[in-house]
Structure 1
Amino acid sequence: MLVSIHDDPPILVCADLQVEYLTQGRRHVILDGDAATSRCLELLTLWRDRLWPVMHLKRIAQAAWFNPASRLTDWIAEAKPRPGEMTFEHPLPSAYSSPRFVDYMSNIRNARCVLAGFSLDETILATVVEGFHRSHRYQVVGDAVACRQPNAGDPAAYKQAVVNVIGNFATIHSSAELIKTSGAVAV
């Protein structure tokens, strides 16, 4: 099914597009940061150009390694929320740990969300699983998501394993599948 600009478009959910995840030398720097960031920005540009709804999630964990007062928790400059775009801060991996997010999502009828961003193995996984159990539909853009490096093993295999698990609770698309040349979005 394709959604055109005249239909009710899905919400683009940008998960944890924060400087912290791209800073080299940090313990939880993400894999494929440049590629994932580029695709996230392409999707963000498409949604903004079409004036479609955009939502930003920001992890503000209280753990010692994730200092919310640090500049590292700032948005990536190009992905910084604009006026009119929704933002939700969440202390735990799932966006549903934000009471405002829960309230918003429970009041949307037929919510369709396209999820892209960082923290694939935490925020995206936890949000999709919890949303599934609340009958919220999510689509994850497989080439516009990234996760931290695993403690051991092959990083690409780790990311693929997480995407495979998410596939049990959400639809997985590539950005090319999602964005059609006609300007329509597959949902």
Structure 2
Amino acid sequence: MLASIHDDPPILICADLQVEYLTPGRRHVILDGEAATMRCLELLALWRANLWPVMHLKRIAQAAWFNPASRLTDWIPEAKPQPGEMTFEHPLPSAYSASRFVDYMSNIRSVRCILIGFSLDETILATAVDGFHRSHRYQVIGDAVACRQPATGDAAAYRDAVVNVIANFATIHPSAELIRTSGAIAV
């Protein structure tokens, strides 16, 4: 079934598009971050041009490696939330760890969300699982998500394994399909 995106656009959720993940030498740097970032920015531009709803998630963890006062937690400049776009800070991996996010999601009539961004193995995975258990429908854009390098092993295999796990809780789509069908989206 196809629904007109103009009648009922899904919410684009940009997860943790923070400078920390693209800074060389950092522990959580993302391999191939440029490709994922470009796709995220393309989708963000499409949503903004059509005035569709955009939501930004920002992880504010209380861990030794995470310094919320650092400039590294700033948004990537091109992805910085604009006026009218929602932002939610969450302390744990799932966006549902933020009470404001839970309140918002429980008060919208049709929960259809498209997840893009960083921390695939934390924020995106945990949010998709939590949303699934609340009967919220999530779509993850497979080429617009990225995760940090694993401590050991092949980074690409690790990323693919995480995407395969997420596929149990959300549908996975390529960005090209979403951009090509900007007038309609599978629901």
TM-score range, shorter chain: over 0.9
Aligned residue in 2 for 1:127: 127
TM-score of the two chains, using structure 2 as the length reference: 0.96
2:168 is aligned to 168
**Runs of 4+ that moved beyond 4 A:** none
Question: Separation in 2 of the partners of 1:66 and 1:50?
Answer: 35
Instruction: Report percent identity of matched pairs.
Output: 85
Q: Indicate yes or no: 2:156 matched with 1:156.
A: yes
Query: What's the CA shift string for 1:104-123, capped at 9, x where partnerless?
Result: 00111121000000000000
CA shift, 1:182, in A, is: 6.0
CA distance in 1: counterparts of 2:39 and 2:186, whole angstroms = 16
Out of 56-65 and 172-181, give the one that drifted further. Answer: 172-181
Q: Secondary structure at the match of 1:55?
A: strand
Q: Which amino acid aligns with 2:25?
A: G
Letter in structure 1 aligned against 2:141: V
Contact residue 115 and residue 138 of structure 1 kept, 8 A: yes
Give the AA of the match of 2:8.
D
User: How many Å apart are 1:183 and its aligned residue?
Assistant: 4.0
Amino acid at match of 2:169: F
Aligned residue number for residue 178 of structure 2: 178
Matched, 1:70 2:65: no
Q: Partner residue of 2:40?
A: 40
> CA 1:22–1:57 in 2, change beyond 3 Å: closer, same or farther?
same
Structure 1 position 185, deviation (Å): 3.7
Give me the TM-score of the superposition, normalised by structure 1: 0.96
- The 1-side partners of 2:24 and 2:168 are apart by 32
- Give deviations 1:48-102, integer Å, cap 9, x for gaps: 0000000000001011111000000000000000000000000100000100000
Tell me, in whole angstroms, the C-alpha distance in 1 between the residues paired with 2:54 and 2:21: 21
Which residue does 1:84 correspond to in 2?
84
- The aligned residue for residue 113 of structure 2 is 113
The more displaced of 3-12 and 162-171 is 3-12
Q: Which amino acid aligns with 2:74?
A: D
CA deviation digits over 1:20-63, x for unaligned, max 9?
Answer: 00011011111220000000000000000000000000001011
SS at structure 1 position matched to 2:143: strand
